[in-house]
Chains A and B, each alone.
Chain A
């Protein structure tokens, strides 16, 4: 079972200069127009203009991650990069040894990093990966108004996780809870008989009633969206590993109504529930 062996996070890095050339602005306009949207150049100029490349540069310079040589790199994001032609996954691949299979998982809102975790676990399970990297990226400079971003004052942020066979919390289950199904019941089913030793890390859009009674909860910064639970994990994983037997990452995607769960088990977490396939995609429905 694959473990989280290293991690890094970045939140609100310094604002960069607006550098959209005329070709890129034309592309934005041509892309948005068929969907009835108009590009607002002022939104771009007023944005922080931090690209995925800049987030990646900072994330892989962190001490825990620097020098790693993963064989699988998955970039996951909900909001697009400012530069639609720059291939961040290839870029970071080159910086980390150039031997990895690399791609991005997108168009799934905040579910994208949960899917990336499933994919990484699947590659580990089949023996095709021994060290994988997931980079969860969020840049907030957009050419069209998006209430999710602009009404919530999201900040630029990112997290990197390295997954391998070393010491660290094990990826013990990834679940999707469909709208209308009970998130609370699914968390209880995931953590089995040890709820008192389990921490729930909840995104700010999770319904508070979804958290089972008696479980400690850490709520994420509402200024993050896709990166929320992952930034918290990267920043606190060592402490949590010492204090809890398991951690449940829980976040609710406002657009789909689906809630996503990941169970990370510490060394003392013994009751991985029957039927859990850590790389699986089934939903217990």
Chain B
């Protein structure tokens, strides 16, 4: 019996209009002018999208609404999965996933949040959605994965020596054997010794930095092998907007040529929690840079620490794909 394939029928993204030079955040984040220079010159950051006046749901809902509108009958959406990096985005009296589901008018869908893979949670949510859809056995059923969160406090906006976080949101309609991009493989590796995440001490951070390139390279290799591909078969690596020495080392170790990496948005958006891999996908798609039948490797690393890689094959789909 052939294995049913998870498909990404529609991916949408949203960025706040307001673009802020990282130098303007130096005071809030406690960065010296020299340190800002490091983030610009070494890590490639320049501006981030950041709007303190925008509420969480104002940020998250536009992409989700656009994704839902691509489904001919939204009643087919059985799950709404809100995947995010910071484990708590609202006070305990508000369940964000339920609000998103209700605002989208999907009142009969199950809605839940998925976290604890930090910035890799978006890819994990696609994997979980696909398993639930397979188990449900209804070929018409769809799941909606939603990402997006605010850089609400200095503690969660600065990842020391890595990134200054920007704001973005995305949404993805998942199906089984549907139209759209096929998920050819998904590989995750978790290093629980770094579970403290942003709260790691200096020694822990140093150790994490040491393991990062090797583990990331292994996960990328494994994802390609599981899809039956070599790096030469890939059209592009679509990563999150992090350009650290660890990332560069991993790429060097794998021998991936620079032209196969999409890093254009590091400078303009910064790292946007669990959303930037999807934001980068839509930027490429909307610019006509995704090839029909092309193979793409999506990469997300979450502090805590989860390394995720997903190989997809792009299939151009009609504006309102029918199964």
Chain A interface (Cβ within 8 Å of chain B)?
Answer: 23-24, 26-27, 30-32, 34-35, 37, 75, 79-81, 83-95, 98, 100-109, 111-112, 115, 118-119, 121-123, 125-126, 128, 142, 144, 146, 149, 176, 178, 255-256, 277, 279-283, 285
Contacts and interface: CB of A to CB of B under 8 A. Distances in A.
Interface in B152-190: 152-156, 188, 190
A81 B95 contact: no
**Could you say which of A87, A91, A101, A121 has the most chain B C-beta atoms within 10 Å of its C-beta?**
A87
B198 interface: yes
B90 interface: yes
**Could you say which of B78, B79, B86, B95 has the most chain A C-beta atoms within 10 Å of its C-beta?**
B95
A35 B92 CA distance: 11
B305 A281 contact: no
Given A85-B197, A123-B131, A98 B152 contact: no
A126 to B, nearest CB: 6
B91 A144 contact: yes
Contacts of A109: 95, 98
B317 interface: no
B195 A86 contact: yes
Interface of B: 55-56, 78-79, 82, 86-98, 108, 110-118, 121, 124, 127-128, 131-132, 134-138, 152-156, 188, 190-199, 303-306
A18 to B, nearest CB: 17
7 contacts: A24-B155, A27-B152, A31-B91, A86-B196, A106-B112, A111-B112, A281-B135
Contacts of A285: 108
Given A90-B306, A126-B131, A35 B94 contact: yes
A95 B190 CA distance: 12
A34 B152 contact: yes
Interface of A is mostly: mixed
Nearest to A145: B93
Contacts of B131: 119, 122-123, 126, 128
Contacts of B193: 94
Given A81-B88, A94-B191, 14 more contacts: A31-B88, A80-B92, A83-B199, A87-B118, A87-B195, A90-B190, A90-B192, A103-B121, A104-B87, A107-B95, A107-B112, A125-B134, A144-B93, A279-B132
Contacts, number: 186
**6 closest Cβ contacts across the A-B interface?**
A94-B192, A279-B135, A107-B113, A87-B304, A30-B153, A122-B135
B86 A84 contact: yes
B190 A102 contact: yes
A149 to B, nearest CB: 8
Contacts of B198: 85
Given A32-B91, A94-B191, A112 B135 contact: no
B87 A94 contact: no
A280 B116 contact: no
A84 B134 contact: no
B113 A84 contact: no
A194 to B, nearest CB: 25
Contacts of B196: 85-87
A23 B152 CA distance: 13
Contacts of A144: 91-93
A107 B91 contact: no
B195 A91 contact: yes
Nearest to B99: A107
A104 B83 CA distance: 10
B93 A80 contact: no
Contact of A256 (B93, B98, B124, B127): B98
Nearest to B102: A256
A37 B94 CA distance: 11
A24 B192 CA distance: 22
Contacts of B305: 90
B145 to A, nearest CB: 13
B29 to A, nearest CB: 12
A31 B90 contact: yes
